[in-house]
């Protein structure tokens, strides 16, 4: 029998946390930029005042490590 607690993490697995963060006022970004839905690739949430700068740092770091 397959173990439901093992396996690959899917994009939808982060949606509950994303919803909580968005309701608290955080901005959300994925690999393509700001996101309001299912993230494409990685997911970053940040406070509005630091969101753009944090996203730039995150995107640069991910690019330097292949993704």
Highest mean pLDDT among 15-19, 30-34, 52-56: 52-56
What are the backbone angles phi and psi of residue 66, rounded to the nearest 5°?
Answer: 80, 20
Which pLDDT score, from 0 to 100, does residue 23 have?
Answer: 95
**Section 42-65 average pLDDT:** 92
Note the pLDDT of residue 4: 64
Give CA 26 to chain center in angstroms: 11
Main-chain phi, psi angles of 20, to 5 degrees: -60, -45
**Are the C-beta atoms of 27 and 45 separated by less than 8 Å?**
yes
- pTM for the model stands at 0.73
Quote the CA–CA distance of 44 and 14 in Å, as a whole number.
11
Residue 7 has pLDDT above 80, yes or no: no
Q: Quote the DSSP letter at residue 3.
A: -
- pLDDT of amino acid 67: 58
């Amino acid at each position: 029998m397959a173990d439901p607690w093992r396996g690959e993490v899917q994009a939808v697995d982060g949606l509950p946390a994303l919803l909580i963060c968005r309701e608290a006022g955080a901005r959300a970004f994925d690999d393509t930029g700001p996101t309001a839905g299912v993230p494409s690739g990685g997911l970053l949430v940040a406070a509005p005042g630091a969101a753009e700068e944090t996203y730039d740092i995150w995107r640069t770091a991910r690019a330097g490590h292949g993704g």
